[in-house]
Each structure stands twice: as structure tokens, then as C-alpha cells.
Amino acid sequence: MGEANYPADLKYHREHDWVRLEGDEAVFGITWFAQDALGEVVYFDAPDVGAAVVADDAYAELESVKAVSDVYAPLSGEVTAVNDAVSTSPGLVNSDPYGEGWLVRVRLSDPSQVDGLMDQAAYTQYLEGLS
Amino acid sequence: MTAATGNPLQHEAVVTIYEKSRPGRRAYVAPPADVPERPLDELLPAALRRERPARLPQVSEPEIVRHFVRLSKRNFDLDSGFYPLGSCTMKHNPKLHERAAALPGHSRLHPLQADEHAQGALELMFNLQHALAEVAGLPHVSLQPSAGSHGELAGVLLTRAYHEARGDQREIVLTPNTAHGTNPATVTMAGYRVVNVGTAPDGGVDLDDLRAKISDRVACLMLTNPSTLGLFDSNIAEISRIVHDAGATLYYDGANLNAVMGICRPGDMGFDIVHFNLHKSFTQPHGGGGPGAGPIAVSDRIAPFLPVPVVAKDGDRFRLDHDRPQSIGRLRGFHGNYGVFVRSYAYICSLGAEGIARTARAAVLNANYLKALLARPGIAEHLPVAYDRHCMHEFVLSGAPMKRDLGIRTLDLAKRLLDHGFHPPTVYFPQLVEESLLVEPTETETRETMEAFADAVAEILAEAKADPSVAREAPYTTPVRRLDEAAAARNPVVRQPMD
């Protein structure tokens, strides 16, 4: 799991999701803080490719040894790919949350929503406010 | 510590009774029929008969006995050890109740027996209804619901029937964010929308948040008191006023009744509907998935909608009353889990009103004693109590400092407790508290047991300080180690392949 880290090239949502922007698409995952709070992730209930996701709404479930938790979409769009590796090995979310542990790739319907997300500095400050 | 200890038989691979089957083995040979045999065709049409015999396991009697006795030893049970599973009230179940439930008049009664031939059973049910009404402080009882969650569903359906009978359409049910998961699930099943109410810093309902969320669209507030944090909400009268002023009903989840039964009554607090868990507060053995019973008690204004049948008394005769035109209908086949009623009635008769109140006092005293034991140095700095005030029958610890400073999680502590012969407390619930442990010792445990439990917790924490990997890899002494619980829940294998 390693130490807490929040890469500077990502955007962050208050429900502890990250976004990597790649043109008109984006990759979603959950942050180090989220995976640490969940504990060992044991199941990924993924959306279907082609499913619509709506910013601030749940689009998937992650089950840890503690509980089943909703995963919230930081931005709206349509799912173009799902990380099957996480379905097979859910622990990737813990071991590499920003890399192999990515969850879905989404074609964005409203890229301007990015303005509502936090950057690294704002998110780490937000986390300090929570503790 | 890596060596397995305990009974080696516990560690052998488990096979099912079908896999033990060998052709021709049997445990019983039926004697020849002492009545004239009739052709099967006369008794049952060929179209309704199976084409080949049922593939029942063929096993000798000693192998059957060993198989099931060994299985019974592979699980943790209350008859073997301390089981402080918070919110579950794992109290001792007196063995006398089993004798009462096994009496032929109870155990051999047929559910289709005419009322006049089952007067004793109906009287027992009637008296149980009466006793539960007294505990609830609400006059009308249905014994039909067969689990706590079933009682909740009954309660929310009654709420719906009550509002609809007045021509009042409402769509929201409020639940505190500390509620049992069954509360929001029940609300959804009953066709309502869940809205969460926050928790105040003292652990009670956040009154400002409740006032902000109450409206004439709210059908009901579902609450437990004491709450899932093990704290009595002394604002209950005000909560009740807010809810009733908005025309909503107030629902009491009886999960935590063990703390207050015989001392104070939900009906007096302003609740309209109460469900009981006879398998928690009233000694029906549980923990293996049933059978349970979740009777409900309701106020006068809800009574017309109660499920049918209810047991009624005319003069000195008892009968099942189906003639209730506004009833929400039946909730199950026949009359509820009758054996549970016998055990709970035996319990109530054994204790009497004063005994029930003493039971609640002892449950609260035990919880506070154990809380104090766990407040000692060596434990409290790693596992602080989440709300540091007198608790009711249970209390919540937070494993957050333990996770941060010792590198073991609440789950690891729980698994390691199994190696000490204790069933762990409830873990990761309530979710409001980080790395939570919910501890409920119940009234039937001795000081020595609770002291031994506190010693085990201290020992595990000291061990983790030296080497956290021991707890992380635990348990070592159980028949199986860590299980893939997600796969077990999502892809359960419950069929024996036959070929």
C-alpha cells in the first residue's frame, strides 16, 4: 500500500475519486485515502461498457472486508472501457490505486465539469480538514 | 506462532454427507409393513412419481453421528465461549426452554389443527402477545413476522397502510446514519425513499438536521434507542414531538431492547410501532441464520392494519382472528415460528416483570464494566472508546489509533481473538466510527469472562507492538483461516454436484 500520495497530474472529487484527463476521455479511480479507508478491496462490481455515468452519482461498487461502498463519478459521460484486471484482482486498487488499479475509462459529455474538481493542493487540504 | 493447536479432527478436510455415501450402507432398516401392501399406482398416479429413486446419501449411523458432531464443532458457538457480538445480544439461552419447546403438545402440533383443538398453544400465543405489549408499552401485537428485518418490513407496510387510509401520500422514510443496514433496505423494499439523519457530537440524533429534513412528505422515522452507538438518546421526547407534529410515525427497531426492557417503554417514549427480536432479547438461540421471530407491537391508530391472523380471546376461549378488513394481510404461512414463542414465553415467565428489568440493568452494568476494563493503559491508547460516556448494553471502540500506530486493523484484532477462544465483537459497524468495534457482553457473562477478554485484547495489542504480522496472519487455531468472504457471498456454492 505504501505511503499516502496524491499525484499532481490528477484531478480529485470530494468522494475521494481521481480523474486523469486524456483528450475528451478520462480515466477514473479511487484515491489512496479511499482505498486506505476501505481496507482490502475484495470485489469490483463494474458498470457495463456503454453505460452512462453522471457526475456525483454512483457508477460502481467496491466491496472491502468492511463494507460494500458506492463509487462516485467525478464527471459525466459514457463508459468506454472497464479495467477487467481489477475485477480479477481487486487488490490492485490497494496496491496501485493510480496505476493498475484504475477502474473505468469514460468519454466525457461535459468536459467543463472539470472546473468543479480539486487539484492536488486543494484535495490534500480537504483531507486535512477531514481528520 | 504458527503451529496449529486444538483438536486435529477440526483441521481435516470437510466432505459432504453425499461424498461419504457408499452403495448399500445404511443406518436404519425399516421393519416389514404390518398392514397390507397396496400397489403404488393406487396411492399415487404414475405421472406424479419420480422416475428413479432419490439419491439420498447411504451412510452408516456412526458415520452420520460423527459427520454432524464434527461439523457442529467447527463453528464458534455460545455454548463454548464468550460471544460479544455487538447489536446481536448473544446471551445464554436457558436449556429449560428447549425442554418446554420439545413437549409433544408443542412440538407435534399441526398448524392446520382446528382452533378448538389447539387452545393451549393459542393461549400461549395470546399471553405472549400480552407480555410483549406490556414490554413495548403499546397495546396491540402481531406475532407473524419471523425475523427482525421481517418485523421492520411489517412496520413500514403498516405505516404505509396508515397514511393511505387517510388519503395521505408520503414518499420518504428517515433513518439515522447509525441505523442498522436493514433499516434502509426495508424502506426501499416497502417502496419508500431513504433520507439519512445525521448524528450529533454526543452520539444522539442531530435535532437540527431532523428539523431540516422533516416534512409532510416524511412517512416515518426509524430509530433505535439506545442507538447503535450504545447510547440512550435523552432527546427522545423532543424527537417524538417533531415527528408527530409532521404527521409521520415513529418506528422503534427493537435490536437494542435488551438495554431498556422492563425499565422504560418505547410506547411511553412516543413510538407508534415496535419490533422485537425474540432471538436477541428473549433467548431464542440464534447465530446460525434462524429461526427467529420479529413480533411487532403498535398503538391504537395503527392496530386496524395489523397482519392477520391475530390471536383473540372470547370469554375463556382463544381463536385466530382473520376478520380484520383493514389488515395489510398475511406476512407468512401459518402462524409464525411457534417454537420461538414457547422459548420466549418460558423466559418471560421465568423472569417475571422484575426479572426482566434486572436483566436489562445487568446487561448495562456488564457493558460498562467491560468498557472500564478496556480503558486501562495498554489498551485505551490503541482502542479508545468512541463516545466516552456511560453506555447502555453495548459500546463502540475505534481501532483507528491501533491501525496507525501498531499497523494492525480492527479485522486483524478480531481474527486474532479467535485464537484466544473468543468470538470477536462486531467489526466495521457502525460505519460512523473509523475501524469500529461494537462490543456487547450481555447480562449472562461473569466478571471473570470479561476480565479474560480484556486480558486477551491487551495481549494481542502488546504482541502487535512487537510483531504486527502475527495478528495480520491470524487466526491459526481455527478449522479454516481467512476466507474469501466476498466470493462466498457473491458466488456461493450451495449445490452438491451429484455425478
Residue B7 clears pLDDT 90, i.e. is over it: no
- Check whether residue B63 and residue B188 sit in a common domain: no
Residues of A in contact with B411 (CB under 8 A): 39, 65-66
The verdict on B360 and B345 lying in the same domain is: no
Find the CATH number of the domain harbouring A93: 2.40.50.100
In degrees rounded to 5, what are phi and psi of residue B247? 80, 10
Interchain CB contact of A127 with B (< 8 Å): no
Q: Does A37 touch chain B (CB under 8 A)?
A: yes
Give chain A's domain count.
1
Compute the average pLDDT of residues B249-271. 96
User: B424: which chain A residues are within 8 Å (Cβ-Cβ)?
Assistant: none
Position A77 in a domain: yes
pLDDT of B290 > 80? The answer is: no
A63 touches chain B (CB under 8 A): yes
pLDDT of residue B2: 39
Cα A1 to chain centroid, rounded: 16
In-domain check, residue A5: no
A2 in a structural domain: no
- pLDDT-derived band at B71 (thresholds 50, 70, 90) equals confident
Residue type, B184: P
Is B323's Cβ below 8 Å from some Cβ in A?
no
**Residues B163 and B205 grouped into a single domain:** yes
Using the predicted structure, report yes or no on whether residue B397 has a pLDDT greater than 70.
yes
Question: Does B165 lie in the same domain as B266?
Answer: yes
The CA distance from B279 to B281, in Å, is 6
pLDDT of residue B6: 53
Domain count, chain B: 3
Report the SS3 class of residue B363: helix
Same domain for B345 and B453 = no
Cell 462490481 belongs to residue: A45
Does one domain contain both B173 and B234? yes
- Phi first, then psi: give them for residue A107, nearest 5 degrees: -85, 120
The pLDDT tens digits for B185-226 are 999 999 999 999 999 998 899 999 999 999 999 999 999 999
Q: Is residue B1 part of a domain?
A: no
Q: At A90, is the pLDDT very low, low, confident or very high (cuts 50, 70, 90)?
A: very high
In a domain, A1, yes or no: no
Position A108 in a domain: yes
Of A63, A65, A90, the CB nearest to B411: A65
B423, B470 in Cβ contact below 8 A? no
Residue A121 neighbours by CB distance under 10 Å: 10
- Same domain, yes or no, for B337 and B364? no
| pLDDT confidence tier of residue B72, bands split at 50, 70 and 90 | confident
Say how far apart CA B257 and CA B139 lie, in whole Å. 17
Query: Is the separation of the CB atoms in B228 and B180 below 8 Å?
Result: yes
A26-71 pLDDT, tens digit each:
999 999 999 998 888 999 999 999 999 999 999 999 998 778 899 9
The overall average pLDDT reported for chain B is 93
Domain range for A105 is 11-123
Cβ within 8 Å of A, B 422-461: 427-428, 431, 434
Selected residue with higher pLDDT from B235 and B291: B235
Contacts 24+ apart (CB under 8 A), B414-419: B415/B471, B415/B474, B415/B475, B415/B482, B416/B460, B416/B463, B416/B470, B416/B471, B416/B474, B416/B475, B417/B456, B417/B457, B417/B460, B418/B76, B418/B474, B418/B475, B418/B477, B418/B478, B419/B1, B419/B474, B419/B475, B419/B476, B419/B477, B419/B478
φ/ψ of residue B252, rounded to 5: -110, 115
Nearest Cα to Cα of residue B438 among B148, B136, B93, B90: B90
| Rounded average pLDDT over B313-338 | 94
Q: Give B112's DSSP letter.
A: T
Residue B3 lies in a domain: no
- Pairwise CB contact (< 8 Å): B411 & A43: no
Domain end (from B298, B320, B351): B351
Q: Does the pLDDT value for residue A1 go beyond 60?
A: no
- Confidence at B11, pLDDT banded by 50, 70, 90: low
* Residues spanned by the domain of B301: 97-351
Interface of B with A in 352-411 (CB under 8 A): 409, 411
By three-state DSSP, how is residue B317 classified? strand
Is A100 inside a domain boundary?
Answer: yes
Q: Is there a domain that residue A3 lies in?
A: no
Cell of residue B51, nine digits: 422416475
Cell of B36: 397390507
Query: Is the overall model pTM greater than 0.95, yes or no?
Result: no
pLDDT of res. B258: 97
B464: domain CATH number is 3.90.1150.10
Q: Is the ipTM, as predicted for this complex, more than 0.90? A: no
The answer for A 73-92 residues in CB contact with B (under 8 A) is 90
Are B22 and B67 in the same domain? yes
pLDDT at position B5 over 60: no
- Sign for the CA dihedral angle at B482, B485, B486, B488 comes to positive
pLDDT > 70 in chain B, percent: 97
Answer with the one of B325, B351, B377 that is the final residue of a domain.
Answer: B351
| A42 reaches B (C-beta below 8 A) | yes
pLDDT, position B358:
98
Whether the CB of B492 is below 8 Å from some CB of chain A: the reply is no
Is residue B202 domain-shared with residue B59, that is, in the same domain?
Answer: no
Q: What is the pLDDT of residue B180?
A: 83
Residue B79 lies inside a defined structural domain of this protein? no
Domain for residue B497, yes or no?
Answer: no
One domain, residues B293 and B427: no
Is residue A101 domain-resident?
Answer: yes
Q: What are phi and psi of B428, to 5 degrees?
A: 60, 30
pLDDT at B347: 98
Q: What is the pLDDT of residue B12?
A: 64
**H or E stretch at B64:** helix B61-73
What helix, strand, coil percent values describe chain B, rounded to 5? 40, 10, 50
Residues B319 and B369 in one domain: no
CB pairs under 8 A between A and B: 21
Same domain membership, residue B429 and residue B372:
yes
Stretch B219-239: mean pLDDT = 95
B490 and A43 in contact by Cβ < 8 A?
Answer: yes
CATH, residue B304: 3.40.640.10
The model's pLDDT over B359-384, given as tens digits with 9 standing for 90+, comes to 999 999 999 999 999 999 999 999 99
